[in-house]
Amino acid sequence: MSRKTLRVSKIKNGTVIDHITGGHALDVIKILGITGHVDGVVTVAINVPSKKLDTKDMVKIEGRELKAEEVDKIALLAPHATINIVRNYKVVDKQRVKLPSVIREIVRCANPACISNSKEPVQPTFYVDSEEPLRIRCHYCGYIMEKQDVLKQF
Ligand SMILES: [Zn+2]
């Protein structure tokens, strides 16, 4: 068993988020709403040497499988991440996150005057101009949001 496999499969049940861009693990923790008051073990590894990226971060969450919406949010801030679902020490599902070219619902426009922030029944919609660094553009008002604007909402 390779060292990498060993690292990933150490938890019994849960999710291992691997290949997070170095330094972004804490953003991922924030997106997932993990605080000091969770049940189960959460392990964070920061600046692990990586072949694919210079350094990478990893987050292991015992006893929790991520929902599709949570995976989409992670794609916004860690576009190279892989999500491994672990059951009984085995990786049963492995997928790379994918940032769609159009993002709906998961973020709101940071422009308070935008129609998507009014009471109109308008679905927030953004176009991805750049994945890294993140730049998304509002369909309605053209406002451009960057990583920090998005992070504030989680
Ligand atoms: Zn807008």
pLDDT digit string, tens, across residues 98-145:
999 999 988 999 999 999 999 889 999 999 999 988 999 999 999 999
Under 8 Å between Cβ of 48 and 60 = no
The predicted pLDDT at position 4 comes to 55
| Mean pLDDT to the nearest integer, 59-69 | 91
CA distance 112 to 149: 13
The confidence band for 1, taking pLDDT boundaries of 50, 70 and 90, is very low
How remote is the C-alpha of 118 from its chain's centroid? 27
CB 64 within 8 A of CB 83: no
- The pLDDT of residue 2: 55
> Does this model's pTM top 0.85?
no
Rounded to the nearest angstrom, the distance between the alpha carbon of 47 and the centre of ligand 1 is 35
Question: Ligand 1: distance of its center to the CA of 107 in Å?
Answer: 11
* Cα separation, 25 vs 31, whole angstroms: 10
CA 110 / ligand 1 centre spacing (Å):
7
Interval between CA 72 and ligand 1 midpoint (Å): 20
End-to-end CA distance of the chain: 37
Ligand 1 centre and the CA of 149: distance in Å? 12
Cα 117 to middle of ligand 1, angstroms: 8
Query: What distance in angstroms lies between residue 139's CA and the mean position of ligand 1's atoms?
Result: 7
Give the confidence band of 93 by pLDDT, cuts at 50, 70, 90. very high
